[in-house]
């Protein structure tokens, strides 16, 4: 059978996603390759499909032991003879895995790197392994963000299986990491397939943080009943946010390294099993999470780097359906990261790298520029993706131009009531899926930005770097403070100069000036002090240029909120209200099957399959079979059950479909 036929028969998909076919063909021809595809790009199929060709054993090396059982379950649902070998395995499944391997039945074997490095496993499979796939291959690189020393020894183990082709897979794409992977895994003249990093189904939003809890709750509420992850910086923040959300009626649990292992395990399992909607976590959470229908990822604090942000936010919308990623930014988060980083002794080189990363994520969060284009740019890719060559952006099933991740079905795009006041920045046209392009954050016109910046900068200049941000904000707002009078600052020209803008805007502008290096926060022995930089002084002399974004004024915000809700809400965008109820019923059925089988619900069907069922209400196995993602074995195993559920309450019962 040809790969296309297997794709259809086993997985129920008609076409390959970008670069899947190329990677599969390389593997089948025995060539080494490096596959860089964003999360949700369909990396697993690149090695699972060759395993289904019946040409020999495919070995998958992955550091994510926590995920392996779910991956094995998913592969088995596609009808593959799959097993895993790792240290957490119970004795029953372990014996079975060895028995299958010995009898030659195994088609796909997941192993931890440690397991491959010890004993004779490599020699045992050398005769029949056709492909060794190394997942999360960036772990081999010091340049990446998850270096694993044991990954450096994989090449040695793979050398003992010389005939097998090697496939390295990762979502992290910087050229330095790619080169490291190639060298460290000793890839032999590999073909390199790099997909576009953009995730068109994600809506990105970044706003200045005003009220962490309130803003987080608002974002989570846009996705009530759906899966969400909230990331916060400290355990204390996690506890506080989780308690607040719970009190507000959200099904949620905290997750951080300070909790008992048992409690963490339960939270994770409940989340994956869809018995829990929202996890509030420090970054300790996520590596082991493959739930495909996470509909929002909220960063209540700023992450450490754009790479971290891409990875953490990337846990949203793996199924290709619309999902939302919101970041609430404050410059003080960057200071906290800097402080933590400095606690570890760092080389000057490392220190510079940390500074650069903080500046980059700060810029991402405050620049009034299309966030999709900023993220793509960070990873060196043009935006919008160029429609030629192999590196074409994946277009998920429900994503179409004009009806993108932020579909506003009634055509009331926020862009239209943009008013004349704020022209859209050049880059901001048309992604339709970020706060800037949706008109929720607006760039100030050049002149206004310069003037505003100069006002804020002169306040910092006048106070001679002897006060903190809070004081400078008060000065610009013209607030009474006994210190103002004491220092004679209430007599300064800058006193009350930005009074009309309001505190939130002034604070945000100062943050924006910090990340653009016009202001800096210096640590005094007692307080962090705000100081103007050389670049800031130059700007005051009209040298250089500045960008400032303005939070949407309060009146428009009410409107924006309604629209944001629509733009962020996922199901309403694809299902009519009456079908939503059926969808929920199908979801409940899926959950009960999953519970009984002890596997995660998404392994049975993705949300997209349930959505199509709810919308098209198939009445026969034949009609069910055409749904994308309905593999042959799944149809046999679950088809009847779902048809019954659909027929049970279908208003169109008895009508020809
Ligand atoms: P990654 O590992 O790159 O994050 P996955 O392998 O988890 O991505 O795949 C993401 C989703 O895309 C999965 O739900 C998978 O079933 C689906 N998928 C994979 N290949 C295809 C395809 N050719 N057509 C449609 N969906 C696909
Ligand atoms: Zn945009």
- Which is it for the CA torsion 151, 152, 155, 157, positive or negative? negative
The C-alpha atoms of residue 291 and residue 413 are separated, in whole angstroms, by 31
Say if ligand 1 is within 6 A of residue 307 CB.
no
pLDDT of 574 > 90? The answer is no
- The ligand with the least distance to the CA atom of 171 is 1
In residues, how long is the chain? Answer: 657
Candidates 444, 575, 541, 545; CA nearest to 501 is 444
Say if ligand 1 is within 6 A of residue 199 CB.
no
Tell me which of 45, 78, 294, 634 to substitute to probe ligand 1's pocket, judged by most ligand atoms within 8 Å of the beta carbon.
45
- The number of the ligand 1 atom at minimal distance from the alpha carbon of 43 is 3
Shared domain check, 594 and 545: no
Say if ligand 1 is within 6 A of residue 74 CB.
no
- The ligand with the least distance to the CA atom of 49 is 1
- The ligand with the least distance to the CA atom of 415 is 2
Q: Answer yes or no: is 17 within a domain.
A: yes
402: confidence class by pLDDT, cuts 50, 70, 90: very low
Q: 81-90, 395-404, 453-462, 623-632: which has the minimum mean pLDDT? A: 395-404
Shared domain check, 168 and 244: no
Centre of ligand 2 to C-alpha 384, Å, is 10
Centre of ligand 1 to C-alpha 254, Å, is 29
- Residue of the nearest CA to atom 10 in ligand 1? 40
pLDDT of 563 > 50? The answer is no
The C-alpha atoms of residue 241 and residue 313 are separated, in whole angstroms, by 18
Shared domain check, 183 and 104: yes
- Residue of the nearest CA to atom 19 in ligand 1? 42
What local confidence, expressed as pLDDT, does residue 412 receive?
A: 28
Shared domain check, 100 and 117: yes
- pLDDT, greater one: 377 or 172: 377
What local confidence, expressed as pLDDT, does residue 290 receive?
A: 80
- Residue of the nearest CA to atom 2 in ligand 1? 43
- Cα distances from 151 to residues 155, 365, 484, 494, in angstroms, run 8, 33, 59, 57
DSSP 3-state helix, strand, coil percentages of the chain (rounded to 5)?
50, 15, 40
Shared domain check, 227 and 171: no
The most distant pair of C-alpha atoms in the chain lies apart, rounded to whole Å, by 88
Contacts 24+ apart (CB under 8 A), 13-16: 13/628, 13/629, 14/628, 16/42
Q: What is the pLDDT of residues 25-75, one digit of tens each?
A: 999 999 999 999 998 899 999 999 999 999 999 999 998 887 898 899 999
pLDDT of 421 > 60? The answer is no
pLDDT of 532 > 80? The answer is yes
Rounded to 5°, the CA angle 390-190-133 comes to 95
What local confidence, expressed as pLDDT, does residue 43 receive?
A: 95
Q: What is the pLDDT of residues 234-251, one digit of tens each?
A: 999 999 999 999 999 999
Candidates 489, 411, 422, 496; CA nearest to 456 is 496
Shared domain check, 386 and 258: yes
Shared domain check, 298 and 166: no
For 142, which DSSP code? Answer: S
pLDDT of 558 > 50? The answer is no
Helix (H, G, I), strand (E, B) or coil at 495: coil
Centre of ligand 1 to C-alpha 226, Å, is 20
The C-alpha atoms of residue 442 and residue 418 are separated, in whole angstroms, by 9
Centre of ligand 1 to C-alpha 252, Å, is 27
Shared domain check, 480 and 451: yes
Q: How many domains does the chain have?
A: 4
| CATH number where 634 lies | 1.10.150.80
Say if ligand 1 is within 6 A of residue 255 CB.
no
- pLDDT, greater one: 239 or 398: 239
Alpha helices, DSSP H, located in 525-576: 534-540, 554-568, 571-574
The C-alpha atoms of residue 173 and residue 137 are separated, in whole angstroms, by 11
- pLDDT, greater one: 51 or 556: 51
Shared domain check, 190 and 43: yes
Mean pLDDT estimate for the chain:
85
Shared domain check, 583 and 637: yes
What local confidence, expressed as pLDDT, does residue 428 receive?
A: 38
Tell me which of 42, 168, 194 to substitute to probe ligand 1's pocket, judged by most ligand atoms within 8 Å of the beta carbon.
42
| CATH number where 457 lies | 1.10.10.10
The C-alpha atoms of residue 271 and residue 279 are separated, in whole angstroms, by 7
345: number of CA atoms within 13 Å, CB side?
A: 0
Q: Answer yes or no: is 421 within a domain.
A: no
pLDDT of 7 > 50? The answer is yes
Most confident of 136-145, 283-292, 571-580: 136-145
What local confidence, expressed as pLDDT, does residue 88 receive?
A: 85
Tell me which of 14, 40, 48, 316 to substitute to probe ligand 1's pocket, judged by most ligand atoms within 8 Å of the beta carbon.
40
What local confidence, expressed as pLDDT, does residue 554 receive?
A: 44
Peptide bond into 323 cis (omega under 30): no
Q: What is the DSSP string of 97-115?
A: HHHHHHHT--SEEEE-HHH
Shared domain check, 466 and 377: no
What tokens does 214 get? 């309130």
126: confidence class by pLDDT, cuts 50, 70, 90: very high
Rounded to 5°, the CA angle 226-227-229 comes to 135
Structure-token match 């506080």, residue found:
240
- The number of the ligand 1 atom at minimal distance from the alpha carbon of 171 is 3
pLDDT of 464 > 90? The answer is no
The C-alpha atoms of residue 493 and residue 491 are separated, in whole angstroms, by 7
Q: Answer yes or no: is 47 within a domain.
A: yes
- pLDDT, greater one: 429 or 112: 112
Shared domain check, 610 and 461: no
Centre of ligand 2 to C-alpha 307, Å, is 19
Radius of gyration of the chain (CA): 27
- The ligand with the least distance to the CA atom of 202 is 2
- Beta-bridge mates of residue 108: 58, 82
pLDDT of 525 > 50? The answer is yes
- Residue of the nearest CA to atom 5 in ligand 1? 42
**Which domain range does residue 629 map to?**
571-649
Say if ligand 1 is within 6 A of residue 44 CB.
yes
Q: 254-268, 337-351, 492-506, 546-560: which has the minimum mean pLDDT? A: 546-560
pLDDT of 106 > 90? The answer is yes
Q: 27-31, 324-328, 551-555: which has the minimum mean pLDDT? A: 551-555
- The number of the ligand 1 atom at minimal distance from the alpha carbon of 44 is 6
Say if ligand 1 is within 6 A of residue 318 CB.
yes
Work out the average pLDDT over 420-432.
Answer: 49
What percent of the chain lies above the pLDDT cut of 90?
58
Work out the average pLDDT over 318-339.
Answer: 91
| CATH number where 365 lies | 3.40.50.300
Q: Answer yes or no: is 408 within a domain.
A: no
pLDDT of 108 > 50? The answer is yes
Most confident of 51-60, 527-536, 605-614: 51-60
What local confidence, expressed as pLDDT, does residue 186 receive?
A: 96
Q: 274-288, 387-401, 478-492: which has the minimum mean pLDDT? A: 387-401
Report which secondary-structure segment, H or E, holds 91. helix 91-103
Exposed (0-12), middle (13-18) or buried (19+): which is 371, by Cβ within 10 Å?
buried
- Torsions phi, psi for 649 (to 5 deg): -125, 5
Centre of ligand 1 to C-alpha 44, Å, is 7
CB contact burial 302-336 (16+ within 10 A = b; e otherwise): bbbbbbbbbbbbbbbbbbbbbbbbbbbbbbbbbee
Q: What is the pLDDT of residues 345-370, one digit of tens each?
A: 677 877 888 888 898 899 899 888 89
Q: 98-107, 286-295, 550-559, 573-582: which has the minimum mean pLDDT? A: 550-559
């Amino acid at each position: 059978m040809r790969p296309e036929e297997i794709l259809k028969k086993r997985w129920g998909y008609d076409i390959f996603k970008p670069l899947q076919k190329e990677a599969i063909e390389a593997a089948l021809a025995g060539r080494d390759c490096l596959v860089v595809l964003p999360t949700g790009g369909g990396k697993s199929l690149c090695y699972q499909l060759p395993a289904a060709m019946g040409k020999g054993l495919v070995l998958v090396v992955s550091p994510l032991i926590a995920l392996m059982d779910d991956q094995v379950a998913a592969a088995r649902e596609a009808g593959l003879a799959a097993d895993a070998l790792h240290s957490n395995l119970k004795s029953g499944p372990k014996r079975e895995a060895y028995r299958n391997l010995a009898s030659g039945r195994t088609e796909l074997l997941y192993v931890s790197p440690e397991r491959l490095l010890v004993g004779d496993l490599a020699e045992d499979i050398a005769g029949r392994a056709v492909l060794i796939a190394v997942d999360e291959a960036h772990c081999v690189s010091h340049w990446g963000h998850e270096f694993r020393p044991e990954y450096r020894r994989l090449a040695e183990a793979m050398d003992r299986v010389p005939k097998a082709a090697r496939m390295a897979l990762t979502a992290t794409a910087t050229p330095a990491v790619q080169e490291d992977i190639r060298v460290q895994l000793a890839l032999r003249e590999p073909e390199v397939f790099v997909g576009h990093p953009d995730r068109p189904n994600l809506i990105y939003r970044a706003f200045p943080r005003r009220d962490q809890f309130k803003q987080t709750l608002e974002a989570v509420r846009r996705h009530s009943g759906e899966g969400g992850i909230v990331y916060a910086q400290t355990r204390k923040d996690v506890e506080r946010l989780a308690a607040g959300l719970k009190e507000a009626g959200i099904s949620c649990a905290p997750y951080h390294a300070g909790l008992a292992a048992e409690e963490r395990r339960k939270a994770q399992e409940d989340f994956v099993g869809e018995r829990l909607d929202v996890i509030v976590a420090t970054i300790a959470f996520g590596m082991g999470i493959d739930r495909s229908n996470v509909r929002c990822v909220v960063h209540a604090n700023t992450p450490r780097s754009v790479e971290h942000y891409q990875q953490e936010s990337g846990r949203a919308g793996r199924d290709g359906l619309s999902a939302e990623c919101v970041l609430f930014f404050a410059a003080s988060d960057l200071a906290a990261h800097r402080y933590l980083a400095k606690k570890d002794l760092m080389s000057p080189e490392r220190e510079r790298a940390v500074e650069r990363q903080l500046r980059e994520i700060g810029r991402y969060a405050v620049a009034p520029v299309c966030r999709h284009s900023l993220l793509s740019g960070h990873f060196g890719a043009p935006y919008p993706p160029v429609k030629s060559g192999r590196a074409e952006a994946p277009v998920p099933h429900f994503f179409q131009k004009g009806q993108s991740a932020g579909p506003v079905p009634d055509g009331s795009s926020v862009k239209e009531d943009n008013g004349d006041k704020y022209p859209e920045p050049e880059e901001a046209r048309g992604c339709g899926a970020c706060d800037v392009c949706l008109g929720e954050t607006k760039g100030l016109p050049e002149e206004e930005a310069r003037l505003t910046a100069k006002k804020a900068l002169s306040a910092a200049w006048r106070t001679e770097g002897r006060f903190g941000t809070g004081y400078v904000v008060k000065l610009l707002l013209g607030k009474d403070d006994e210190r103002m009078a004491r220092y004679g600052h209430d007599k300064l020209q800058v006193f009350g100069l930005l009074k009309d803008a309001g505190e939130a805007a002034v604070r945000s502008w100062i943050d924006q000036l910090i990340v653009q290096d016009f202001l800096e926060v210096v640590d005094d022995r007692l307080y962090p002090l705000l100081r103007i930089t050389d670049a800031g002084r130059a700007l005051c002399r009209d040298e250089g240029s500045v960008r400032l974004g303005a939070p949407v004024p309060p009146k428009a915000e009410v409107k924006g909120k309604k629209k944001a809700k629509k733009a962020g809400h996922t199901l309403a965008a694809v299902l009519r209200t009456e079908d939503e109820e059926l969808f929920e019923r199908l979801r409940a059925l899926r959950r009960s099957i999953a519970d009984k089988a002890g596997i995660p619900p998404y392994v049975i069907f993705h949300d997209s399959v349930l959505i199509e069922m709810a919308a098209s209400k198939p009445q026969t196995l034949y009609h069910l079979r055409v749904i994308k993602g309905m593999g042959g074995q799944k149809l046999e195993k679950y088809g009847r059950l779902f048809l019954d559920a659909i027929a049970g309450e279908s208003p169109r019962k008895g009508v020809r479909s």
